[in-house]
């Protein structure tokens, strides 16, 4: 029985923020790509997500290599957003500490 590669990846607006993900999971292509860019090979990624098949991991990597510019831009946007949230959290935490020391 053969599997169409296109059926391995899906996107739903109400799951994972609409990001492309592996069918039947909440593992996004971006998550797979992040590990790949950190130096993990497909086998290591499949070991880390033991419920994924090699075909699913390779489908995510195929999609990445076919759409590399778009996905790299999306990853950069995600990273920038995460850094901004971290800065806001740090500033809020620092302000909270400053408020406490004023009230002592």
List, for residues 45-96, the tens digit of each pLDDT value: 999 999 999 999 999 999 999 999 999 999 999 999 999 999 988 888 776 6
Q: Residue 101's pLDDT is what?
A: 61
- By percentage, how much of the chain surpasses pLDDT 90? 78
CB 23 within 8 A of CB 10: yes
- Output the DSSP codes for 12-75: -TTSGGG--EETTSS-BHHHHHHHHHTT--HHHHHHHTTTS-HHHHHHHHHHHHHSHHHHHHHH
Q: Residue 9's pLDDT is what?
A: 97
Contacts of residue 62, defined as CB under 8 A and 6 or more positions apart, other chains included, come to 5
Q: Residue 99's pLDDT is what?
A: 62
pTM of the model: 0.79
- Under DSSP, the state recorded for 8 is S
């Amino acid at each position: 029985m053969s599997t169409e590669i296109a059926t391995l990846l899906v996107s739903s607006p109400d799951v994972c923020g609409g990001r492309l993900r592996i069918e039947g999971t909440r593992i996004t292509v971006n998550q797979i790509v992040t590990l790949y860019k950190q130096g993990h090979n497909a086998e290591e990624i499949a070991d880390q997500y033991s419920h994924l098949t090699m075909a699913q991991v390779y489908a995510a990597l195929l999609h990445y290599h076919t759409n590399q510019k778009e996905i790299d831009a999306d990853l950069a946007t995600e990273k920038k957003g995460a850094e901004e949230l971290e800065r806001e959290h740090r500033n809020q935490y620092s302000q909270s500490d400053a408020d406490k020391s004023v009230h002592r």
